[in-house]
């Protein structure tokens, strides 16, 4: 039998987006009890990811609670949950792992067909919301919605983590850092001595850089239109920095000249379909691989001259860097605890929940990498 708190509605504070791109409003929301196979989490920390910002600016489903890069403690469990108990430390994940579908069983994919990216603002299981304001539904984001003191997620969209690990740092492993490292390790499998070009040096791009460095890449070139991104990039293994605004000629030509015909690997960590094309053009003939991580908020179609592919280039995309969250993320937490990967260095700001609007402003203005929001104790 689930504990008694799992029957009760919780009323708490959440940062609600009412209109695209307009300031979040701190509201009292009702959080329903977890339904079968769900857990209710007391969010401890949640960091702002580039995807929250672009979804808030461009999507149409409102009112909504954003936030998906989070850590917390299980408050109560729904019927049928055996994997979690009250008090467990967890990371939320925006793409779950049911362990049973064709994709989960394949060992070749982390794109669960049951608990994959939820775009409609509802819960996977019953297509309803668990949040409301005075009885009116408030929509979820990626079935996580961590910009709330409490949230409900499917038990397949949470990962139990070592209680020794600091939750205020670990939240970055629930999306940004994991995605970047996984893109370099699982998706590209960057080879020793290779040349890597990374477009966009936010947390995603710098985590790709870190992953490439740990795999022994000989040369890592970072491209960003914000010159301030060059400073931190060095610490993550970026050897050279290019600002496209400093060049007359197109960036693929600059990169081809610098690299004897193009990079072995390019990574798109901006979220712009045009940059995907640029990345593909910046890869070398024969084996050049472009991995696209970014989520465009504008035009979603990618265009490329077919000749780029006929001459041997590959274009791949990834969600969460190919990690199967439940199976793989605990090993990343171990790597963090063993000091094998850098996470803390990506946290440029810490803010209390009541100042969450400031986090959005910092990210919009390109002034932060990750801003960690701390929920009230
Ligand atoms: N695939 C996934 O699973 C996944 C996971 C998390 C985030 N994302 C996406 O990855 C992207 C990056 O996320 P982030 O949190 O690092 O965001 P971020 O905003 O911190 O970083 C983006 C960087 O791109 C730079 N940039 C903007 N336009 C550019 C251009 N034309 N050329 C070069 N650089 C440019 C910005 O200055 C910034 O430094 C976003 O699109 C986000 O939605 C994808
Ligand atoms: Zn599955
Ligand atoms: Zn994210």
Predicted confidence (pLDDT) at residue 4 exceeds the cutoff of 70: no
CATH number at residue 273: 3.40.50.720
> How many Cβ atoms sit within 10 Å of the Cβ of residue 177?
29
- Binned at pLDDT 50, 70 and 90, residue 2 comes out as very low
> How many Cβ atoms sit within 10 Å of the Cβ of residue 20?
14
Ligand 1 atom with least separation from CA of 205: 16
Indicate the burial class of 275 (C-beta count within 10 angstroms; 0-12, 13-18, 19 or more): buried
Nearest CA to ligand 1 atom 2: 319
Residues 27 and 56 both lie in one domain: yes
Give the CA radius of gyration of the chain. Answer: 20
Q: What is the mean pLDDT of residues 194-223?
A: 98
Ligand 1 atom with least separation from CA of 200: 24
- What per-residue confidence (pLDDT) applies to 31? 98
Whole-number Å distance, alpha carbon 69 to ligand 3 midpoint, is 6
- What per-residue confidence (pLDDT) applies to 6? 72
Residues 136 and 43 both lie in one domain: yes
Contact partners, residue 79, CB within 8 Å, separation at least 6: 2, 35, 36, 37
Ligand nearest to the CA of 67: 3
Ligand 1 binding pocket includes 223 (Cβ within 6 Å): yes
- Binned at pLDDT 50, 70 and 90, residue 152 comes out as very high
Q: What is the pLDDT of residues 241-290, one digit of tens each?
A: 999 999 999 999 999 999 999 999 999 999 999 999 999 999 999 999 99
Predicted confidence (pLDDT) at residue 12 exceeds the cutoff of 70: yes
Whole-number Å distance, alpha carbon 203 to ligand 3 midpoint, is 10
Predicted confidence (pLDDT) at residue 3 exceeds the cutoff of 50: no
CATH number at residue 22: 3.90.180.10
Q: What is the pLDDT of residues 276-306, one digit of tens each?
A: 999 999 999 999 999 999 999 888 999 999 9
Residues 192 and 96 both lie in one domain: no
Q: Which two tokens stand for residue 374?
A: 């701390």
Where are the alpha helices (H) located in the chain, listed in sequence order? 50-58, 102-106, 167-170, 176-182, 203-214, 229-233, 251-258, 273-281, 306-310, 325-337, 356-364
Length of the chain: 377
Q: What is the pLDDT of residues 300-324, one digit of tens each?
A: 999 999 999 999 999 999 999 999 9
DSSP 119: -
Q: Which domain, by its residues, includes 265?
A: 180-318
Residues 142 and 47 both lie in one domain: yes
Is the Cβ–Cβ distance between 263 and 22 less than 8 Å? Answer: no
Q: What is the mean pLDDT of residues 156-165?
A: 97
* Residue to substitute in 202, 228, 372 for testing ligand 1 pocket (most ligand atoms within 8 angstroms of CB): 202
The CA distances from residue 21 to 18, 132, 359, in Å, are: 9, 21, 14
Among 58, 95, 173, residue whose Cα is nearest residue 104: 95
Residues 100 and 157 both lie in one domain: yes
Ligand 1 binding pocket includes 181 (Cβ within 6 Å): no
Residues 140 and 244 both lie in one domain: no
Round the average pLDDT of the chain to a whole number and report it: 97
Helix (H, G, I), strand (E, B) or coil at 324: coil
- What per-residue confidence (pLDDT) applies to 1? 43
Q: Which residues pair with 77 in a beta bridge?
A: 39
* Reported pTM: 0.97
Residues 148 and 60 both lie in one domain: yes
């Amino acid at each position: 039998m689930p504990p008694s708190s799992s029957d009760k509605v919780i009323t708490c504070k959440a940062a609600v987006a009412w209109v695209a791109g307009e300031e979040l409003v701190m509201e009292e929301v009702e959080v329903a009890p977890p339904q079968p196979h769900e857990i209710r989490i007391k969010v401890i920390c949640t960091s702002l990811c580039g995807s929250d910002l672009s979804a808030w600016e461009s999507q149409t489903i409102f009112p909504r609670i954003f936030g998906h890069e989070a850590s917390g403690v299980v408050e109560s469990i729904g019927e049928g949950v055996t994997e979690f108990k009250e008090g467990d430390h967890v990371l939320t994940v925006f793409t779950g792992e049911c362990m049973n579908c064709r994709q989960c069983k394949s060992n070749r994919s982390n794109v669960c067909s049951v608990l994959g990216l939820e775009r409609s603002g509802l819960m996977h299981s019953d297509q309803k919301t668990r949040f409301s304001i005075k009885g009116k539904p408030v929509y979820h984001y990626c079935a996580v919605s961590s910009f709330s003191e409490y949230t409900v997620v499917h038990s397949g969209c949470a990962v139990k983590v070592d209680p020794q690990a600091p939750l205020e740092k670990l939240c970055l492993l629930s999306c940004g850092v994991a995605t970047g490292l996984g893109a370099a390790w699982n998706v590209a499998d960057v080879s020793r001595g290779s040349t890597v070009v990374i477009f966009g040096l936010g947390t995603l791009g710098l985590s790709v850089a870190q992953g490439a460095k740990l795999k022994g890449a000989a040369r890592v070139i970072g491209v960003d239109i914000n010159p301030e991104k060059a400073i931190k990039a060095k610490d993550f293994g970026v050897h050279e920095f290019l600002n496209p605004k400093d060049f007359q000629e197109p960036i693929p030509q600059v990169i081809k000249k610098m690299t004897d015909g193009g990079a072995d690997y390019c990574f798109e960590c901006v979220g712009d379909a045009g940059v995907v094309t640029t990345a593909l053009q910046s890869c070398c003939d024969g084996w050049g691989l472009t991995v696209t991580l970014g989520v465009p908020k504008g035009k979603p179609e990618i265009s490329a001259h077919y000749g780029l592919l006929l001459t041997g280039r590959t274009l791949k995309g990834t969600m969460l860097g190919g990690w199967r969250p439940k199976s793989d993320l605990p090993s990343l937490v171990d790597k963090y605890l063993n000091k094998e990967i850098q996470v803390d260095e990506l946290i440029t700001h810490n803010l209390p929940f009541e100042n969450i609007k400031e986090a959005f402003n910092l990210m919009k203005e390109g002034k932060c990498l990750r801003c960690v929001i701390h929920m009230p104790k």
